[in-house]
Structure 1
Amino acid sequence: MSTCVATKHVVLSVDDSLISQQMIKRALDTSYRVLLADNAVDALSVISQETVGAILLDISMPGIDGFELCRTVRSLPRFKNVPIVMVTSRDTEADRQEARLSGASGYLTKPCKPERLKAVMGKLLPQTQGVS
């Protein structure tokens, strides 16, 4: 008799706003293991140590912004197909275009309703992955 253990996908949220981080963690915590980073350097450290299923990125951060971080992550072979969603208060067509060109898989504007965030993540990642 084999048992199948369901494990949660890991989602990394990169945002310098504590309020945004708390909202994202509350919205996704029941379905995913949510890791938080408040800058690009910490985010790169996390993805080098963890198997991340998806990344949520704010655009406006001090130092390296979300566009540059997205391009950096996409340049790493093991992250070519990892979903990256921009979660930002910036809502211009130019920002959306820049996100696409940077390699983003999706774009959500803040404030983002928890249901919307869950729906987008549900499309990008199955809720659990079975491990036998």
Structure 2
Amino acid sequence: MSNGTTSSPIVLALDDSLVIHQMIKRALEPGYQVITAANAVDALSIIYHQRISVLLLDVQMPDVNGLEFCRTVRSLPQFQHLPVIMVTSQDSPFDRVKGHLAGATEYLIKPFDAEQLREAVRKFIGS
């Protein structure tokens, strides 16, 4: 990656659906570098080893749900200001409150369209 040019901002998408991974990549590449993870352990490892600009986070996952993962990330001082966008099909006002209480910066409802996702990410990266 060190070809002398500035690299694209990195977006990490944590979702257990490979279909969602592909939708996110199609929506955000080539403007952003998209890294995907299917579970919380992989995502935490990526966060520690890459400079993530935005974290996209599914709420419903088999191992650690997105709310728990968001709280974990927020408990680590170096990630307290990392923008976290919940990407979920759970759309009740109570779900939104739970997301924000867990530390989510933004809440995006599935199914989303590519422009909605780009707009949400652009808000935090400003490109």
Q: Which TM-score band applies after superposition, normalised by the shorter structure?
A: over 0.9
Structure 1 residue 6: deviation in Å? 3.1
Query: 1:112 is matched by which residue type in structure 2?
Result: F
Q: Which residue number in structure 2 is paired with residue 79 of structure 1?
A: 79
Please say which structure displays the higher CA radius of gyration.
1
Identical-pair percentage: 47
SS of the residue corresponding to residue 8 of structure 1 reads coil
Please list the CA deviations of residues 30-87 of structure 1 after superposition, one character each: whole Å capped at 9, or x if unmatched.
1111000011111001111111111000000002000000000111111111100000
Of residues 118-127 and 79-88 in structure 1, the stretch that sits farther from structure 2 once superposed is: 118-127
Normalising to structure 1: TM-score of the pair?
0.90
Q: Which residue number in structure 2 is paired with residue 130 of structure 1?
A: none
SS of the residue corresponding to residue 107 of structure 1 reads strand
Q: How does 1:1-132 map to 2 (within 5 A)?
A: 5-127=5-127
Structure 1 residue 126: deviation in Å? 2.3
Query: 1:55 is matched by which residue type in structure 2?
Result: L
Instruction: Tell me the distance in 1 between the aligned counterparts of 2:103 and 2:64.
Output: 16
Aligned length: 124
Please list the CA deviations of residues 74-124 of structure 1 after superposition, one character each: whole Å capped at 9, or x if unmatched.
111111111000001111111100000000000000010000100111111
Query: 1:102 is matched by which residue type in structure 2?
Result: A
> Unaligned 5+ residue runs, structure 2?
none
Structure 1 segments (4+ residues) deviating >6 Å = none
| Pairwise CA RMSD | 1.1
Instruction: Tell me the distance in 2 between the aligned counterparts of 1:50 and 1:109.
Output: 26
SS of the residue corresponding to residue 16 of structure 1 reads coil
Compare relative contact order (CA 8 Å, sep 6+) and give the higher one, 1 or 2: 1
SS of the residue corresponding to residue 25 of structure 1 reads helix
Structure 1 residue 5: deviation in Å? 3.4
